[in-house]
Amino acid sequence: MAESLAPWLAPDVQFHLVSRRRNRLWRMAEMAWAVCRYGRREQPVVIDVYSTLNFYYALICGLLCRWMGIRYWCVLHGGNLPGRIRRNPRLCQLLFGNAARLIAPSGYLQAAFRRAGFESEVIPNAIPITKYPYKQRDRVWPRLLWVRAFDAIYNPRMAIRVLHRLLERYPDTTLCMVGPDKDGSMQDCQQLAERLGVADRVRFTGRLPKAEWIALSADYDIFINTTNVDNTPVSVIEAMALGLPVVSTDVGGLPYLITQGEDGILVPADLDEEMAKAVVSLLERPEKAKRLASCARKKVENFSYEKVARQWKRLLIHE
C-alpha cells in the first residue's frame, strides 16, 4: 500500500518504505530494523498484512511495536485472511487485537473481521486511473483475457475449460493468459489444453510489465476471473477500468466489488459451464456488454490514487 501511494501522499505524509528484498531472512531483518530505527510514539507504523508466510513478518513487526510502545496500523490484504484467523486465532489476536487501526480494502474483509471481533475501516485498493485507457467495444468478439498469477487458488484450469466449452459454439474463440507461474499451474494448464485439443487457441505470455498487458488488453473483448479465493483483485479493477466486461467467480470479496448484472457478471466458483454461458450472453447481446463495461469504469474511477490518497490523508494527518 505505502509504496504505491507514497508519492500521492507527499508532502503532507512521509513514509520510510521497507523492504524490497526477496530473501526472507533479510526482509524480516530489514523490517525489524526499520521499526527500531524509524518508529516514533507519535507516528504509527503501517504494516501490510497478507495471509501467507508474510503474515509472520507482520506479526513480528507488530510485537516489536508493542514492546517499544509504538502504535501500529494493519493494512489487510488477501482473500484468505479470514482463514488465517480460523487457523491461528491466538496469533491473530496478538496482531490485530493490539493494532491501533485495521484498514480493509473491501467490505468483504471488513465483514469477515467484524465476525471475528475486529473492527476495521474500508479504504479501497488504488490504481493510477489515467494509465488505463478506456476502450469502448461496440462489438464483442470471443477473445478472452485472463490476468493473474498461475496458482491453484486462482483456479487457472477453469479458464481452459471455459475456452473448450466456447469453442463448441464459437470456433474462433481465443484465450490469452497473462501472469507468472507460482506453483506449476502454468504447465498444468498447458497440459490440460493439449488434452482438450485447444492448445492452438490459448496463449501463455508469462509475466508482463504492467504497460505491456494494458496495451495487450486492447486486442481482447472479455475478461474472465476464475479464482477460488480472493479479496478485491487489482487485476479485475484494472480490467474494469480498461472497458473489458468482466465475468468472475463470486468468491470472497468479488460480490463487494462487482454488482451482479450492473457492472459485471458473477458465477459460482469452478463451474465452467456457467461462466461459458455468461460469456455467451455478452457475445449475443453486445449492448449488455457495453453497458456493463461503462458502469464498471465509472465505479472504479473511485479507486484512483488521487481519491484513495485523500482518504489516507484524512486518517494519517488527523491521527
CATH of the domain at 193: 3.40.50.2000
pLDDT of amino acid 28? 76
50 and 133 fall within a common domain: no
How much is the pLDDT for 159? 98
Q: What is the mean pLDDT of each run of 10 residues along the chain (319 residues)?
A: 67 69 74 76 82 87 92 87 92 96 92 95 91 94 97 97 98 98 96 98 97 96 95 93 98 93 98 98 97 97 91 80
* Class of residue 195 by CB neighbours under 10 A (exposed 0-12, middle 13-18, buried 19+): exposed
Indicate whether 207 and 96 sit together in one domain: no
How far apart are the C-alpha atoms of 218 and 231, rounded to whole Å? 26
Q: Kindly state whether residues 294 and 156 are assigned to the same domain.
A: yes
213 shares a domain with 297:
yes
| pLDDT of 38 | 74
Length of the chain equals 319
- What is 174-237 written as a DSSP string? EEEEES-BSSSHHHHHHHHHHHHT-GGGEEEEES--HHHHHHHGGG-SEEEE--SS-SS-HHHH
Domain that holds residue 119: 2-126+304-317
Return the C-alpha cell found at 278. Answer: 455468461
Question: What was the pLDDT predicted at 78?
Answer: 75
Q: Report the pLDDT value the prediction gives residue 30, as an integer from 0 to 100.
A: 80
238 in the same domain as 261:
yes
Based on the fold, state whether residues 141 and 243 are members of the same structural domain. yes
Query: According to the model, what pLDDT value does residue 2 have?
Result: 59
Task: Judge whether 58 and 74 are in contact, CB under 8 Å.
Answer: yes
What per-residue confidence (pLDDT) applies to 140?
95
Residues 121, 148, single domain; the answer is no
CA 233/CA 231 separation, integer angstroms:
6
pTM (2 d.p.): 0.86
Are residues 145 and 79 part of one domain? no
Number of folded domains that form the chain: 2
Question: Could you tell me if 168 and 293 lie in one domain?
Answer: yes
For residues 141 and 281, membership in a common domain is answered with yes
Same domain for 234 and 266 = yes
Query: Same domain for 29 and 103?
Result: yes
Predicted local distance difference test score (pLDDT) of residue 52: 80
Cα separation, 157 vs 185, in Å, equals: 8
Which DSSP helix (H) or strand (E) runs through 48? strand 45-49
